């Protein structure tokens, strides 16, 4: 009986080793490669498409065109009343603030917008804005950059703010701005 028990134990151990070897090979072969990080151009393309497709359509706050200069890391947003050049290398991505903004005035009611505000790093300008005549608009504070989206349009897109937040923060970091980090 003990000889039968030893043979059974040996067969059991051999079977267990074969199963473990097969399982480790299977796990080794199914290991997924990490997804490559998006390039600066890919991130800009995403940000541009969101700024254009999720733009307000009130004739005042519309994003008419969005361009990016890879050499200078300047994001330009053109609206009916002028354009703003946003200096991504001067932005602190840890300052990102999303808020609902009502652009209505005493003459006209407009749809609410979702506004992303980013502050500049100390001592640097976040943006320079120009009026419709291409003159510098001194009424626009240079220490923060703002991007506007239609609130109604963004509500239809799941996780819009999370995705846009991640894309703009990665783009800022690649442009030489302050990378995002959890400080708390």
Please tell me the pTM assigned to this model: 0.78
Q: With 70 as the cut, is the pLDDT of residue 10 above it?
A: no
Residue 76: pLDDT band with limits 50, 70, 90: very high
Q: With 70 as the cut, is the pLDDT of residue 16 above it?
A: no
Q: What is the pLDDT of residue 145?
A: 96
Segment 71-93 mean pLDDT: 95
Q: What is the pLDDT of residue 31?
A: 74
Contacts of 145 (CB under 8 A, 6+ apart): 84, 86, 87, 91, 117, 118, 120, 126, 127
Q: How far is Cα 27 from Cα 164, in angstroms, rounded to an integer?
A: 35
Residue 22: pLDDT band with limits 50, 70, 90: low
Segment 166-182 mean pLDDT: 92
How many other C-beta atoms can be found within 10 angstroms of the C-beta atom of residue 116? 18
pLDDT digits (tens, 9 = 90+) for 39-60: 999 999 999 999 999 998 877 7
How big, in percent rounded to 5, are the helix, strand and coil portions of the chain? 40, 25, 40
If residue 149 lies in a helix (H) or strand (E), which one and from where to where? strand 144-150
Strands 127-131 and 65-69: unpaired
Edge-to-edge strand list for the sheet holding 65-69: 65-69, 74-79, 82-87, 127-131
Q: What is the pLDDT of residue 73?
A: 95
Q: Rounded to the nearest 5°, which phi and psi values hold at 77?
A: -120, 120
Q: Which of 15-29, 97-111, 159-173 is modeled with the greatest confidence? A: 159-173
Q: With 60 as the cut, is the pLDDT of residue 24 above it?
A: no
Percent of the chain with pLDDT over 90: 62
Query: Which residue has better confidence, 99 or 10?
Result: 99
Segment 33-39 mean pLDDT: 88
Residue 2: pLDDT band with limits 50, 70, 90: low
Contacts of 169 (CB under 8 A, 6+ apart): 93, 96, 179, 180
If residue 146 lies in a helix (H) or strand (E), which one and from where to where? strand 144-150
């Amino acid at each position: 009986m003990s000889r039968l028990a030893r043979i059974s134990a040996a067969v059991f151990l051999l079977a267990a080793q074969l199963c473990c070897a097969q399982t480790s090979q299977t796990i080794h072969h199914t290991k997924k490669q990490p997804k490559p990080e998006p390039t600066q151009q890919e991130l800009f393309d995403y940000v541009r498409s969101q700024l254009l497709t999720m733009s307000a359509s009130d004739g005042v706050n519309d994003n008419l065109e969005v361009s990016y200069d890879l050499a200078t890391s300047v994001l330009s947003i053109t609206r009916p009343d002028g354009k703003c050049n946003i200096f991504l290398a001067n932005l602190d991505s840890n300052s990102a603030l999303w808020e609902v903004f009502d652009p209505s005035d005493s003459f006209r009611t407009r749809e609410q917008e979702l506004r992303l505000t980013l502050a500049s790093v100390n001592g640097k300008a976040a943006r320079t804005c120009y009026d419709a005549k291409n003159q510098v608009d001194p009424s626009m504070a240079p220490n923060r950059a703002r991007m506007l989206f239609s609130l109604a349009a963004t509500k239809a897109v799941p996780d819009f703010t999370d995705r846009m937040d991640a894309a703009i923060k990665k783009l800022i970091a690649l442009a030489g701005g302050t990378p995002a980090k959890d400080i708390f």
